[in-house]
Copies of this chain bind each other. A is one copy, B any other.
Amino acid sequence: MVFVKRKAHFNAAHRLHNPEKSEEWNKRVYGKCNHPNWHGHNYIIEVVVAGEPDPDTGYVIDLSKLYDIIEEQIIEKCDHKNLNLDVDFLDGILPSTENLVKAFYFQLKEPIEKACVEGGKLYAVKLHETERNAAEYCPYLLK
């Protein structure tokens, strides 16, 4: 199995706030991430696809097609947007890095697995919120 990886970037506003909980709970749990006027990040998304390279092309997936899928499914919907208010597939999802990366994985899985070599898989998605904080969703580890 070979793993191919592609990074992409988007900038967005968000706020950690659970609307089913009290103001006090939200302030205590989320601290400054709960600030009502939003804050934001330069997110970096990294997509990992696994498969056997196609013998004709040498590709697990054409990385420019992979970028087009990330662009269409994630960047166009999230870039310069508010992740709590503006993104259809994040509706009702609290935008912690953990929840975002899982939502991005399932948003990308079907179109990527159609475009890659037969038997290829969306192996993992990683999301960097800052240079120091990140999350990864990978259903193939620690089952």
Contact = CB atoms under 8 A, between A and B. Distances in A.
Interface of A: 1-9, 11-14, 16, 18, 21, 29-33, 35, 37-42, 50, 53, 56-60, 62-64, 79-82, 85-86, 94-99, 101-102, 121, 123, 130-143
A interface, over-half SS: mixed
Contacts of A31: 64
Quickly give the copy total for this chain.
6
Contacts of A42: 41-42, 130-131
Contacts of A94: 57-58
Closest 5 CB pairs of A and B: A40-B40, A58-B96, A37-B82, A32-B80, A13-B38
Contacts of A132: 6-8
B35 A38 contact: no
A121 to B, nearest CB: 7
Contacts of A95: 58
B3 A58 contact: no
